[in-house]
Amino acid sequence: MALTQSSIKSEERSLGQILSDGRPLRVPTYQRNFSWGKAQITDLWDDIQRILYDSPDNYFLGSMVFIQREGNSLDVVDGQQRLATVSLLLAAIRDGFIVANDSARAQHVESRFLCSRDLKSMEAAPKLSLNEMDNNLYWQIIDSKTDYIELSKIARNKEMLESNRLMAQAYVFFYDNTKKGSTAFTNTTFLTTLVEYITNSISCIQVVTSNEESAYVLFETR
C-alpha cells in the first residue's frame, strides 16, 4: 500500500502533549496485554534519572502510531506499553503528592495527564484506556481506587493474570523509587521536577492516520 502525505500526520511531541491534548487514547481489544516487566521499567527509570541529573537533553522514546476515530478519539496501534508505563509512573508521583498533603499538585497531575472529571458528578474519564483484560485494574490505579498495600499484594500474587500483576509491580516499583528519591515524599521539589521532565522532556514521533490499513503498514515498517 502506498501511503500519501495527506493520509498521515507525523510530528514530534512530548508525552505531556500527547496525554493532555483532549483526545481520549484507547488501546483496541485485539492489542496485547500489558507486558513490561522489571527489566523494561528499570531501564526507563534509570534513563530518566541519568538524564535528569547528568544531561539536560530530551529523551526520545521512538515513534507511536494512532488511528483517528470518530468522536476525536485515537486508537493506539503502537505505543501502548510506553504510554501505560508512563501513566503508572505519573500515578505513583500523584500519590506521592497526596502523601505529602500537596493536593494542588496531585490534582494537577491527575487532571492534566491521567483523567478528567465531570464537574457535577465528579466521575472520572481516563486519558488512556487499555484493553479489556487490563483496563479494570489500570483504571483502579489511575482513579486512586486501589492503594499501595493492595497493589503490593497483587504484585506478589502468582494467581493473578500476568499482565495485571506486571502493572501492579510497575506501580509499586515507581512508588518505592519516587518515595526514596523524595525522602519519603518530603521533598516535593523532586516530585515536581520529575513530572516536568517526564511530561516536557520525553518525546516521541506521534503518527496519526485515519486509515486503519495505513496504520498497520506504518507499524510493521517502523
- The string of pLDDT tens digits covering residues 23-58 is 999 999 888 999 999 999 999 999 999 888 877 678
Q: Over pLDDT 70: what percentage of the chain?
A: 91
pLDDT at residue 15 tops 70: yes
* Cβ-contact 194, 178 below 8 angstroms: yes
pTM assigned to the model:
0.91
* DSSP-based three-state secondary structure for 12: strand
Domains held by the chain: number: 1
Q: Tell me what pLDDT residue 2 has.
A: 42
**Residue pLDDT, tens place only, 111-145:** 999 998 777 777 778 899 999 999 999 999 999 99
**Residue pLDDT, tens place only, 168-218:** 999 999 999 999 999 999 999 999 999 999 999 999 999 999 866 555 555
pLDDT average, residue stretch 152-177: 98
Phi-psi region of 51 (alpha: psi -120 to 50; beta: other; left: phi over 0): alpha
Of the two residues 72 and 159, the one the predictor is more confident about is 159
**Range list of H helices, 100-147:** 103-109, 135-142
Strand partners, 65: 78, 207
Q: Where are the beta strands (DSSP E) in the chain?
A: 8-14, 25-26, 59-68, 74-78, 115-117, 124-126, 128-129, 202-209
pLDDT at residue 5 tops 80: no
Q: Tell me what pLDDT residue 215 has.
A: 53
What is the span of the domain harbouring residue 133? 5-221
HSE of 88 in the Cβ direction (CA atoms, 13 Å)?
33
Q: How far apart are the C-alpha atoms of 174 and 120, rounded to whole Å? A: 32
Q: Tell me what pLDDT residue 70 has.
A: 82
Q: Tell me what pLDDT residue 217 has.
A: 56
> What end-to-end distance do the CA atoms of the chain give, in Å?
15
Q: Tell me what pLDDT residue 8 has.
A: 84
Q: Tell me what pLDDT residue 210 has.
A: 82
Q: Tell me what pLDDT residue 1 has.
A: 41
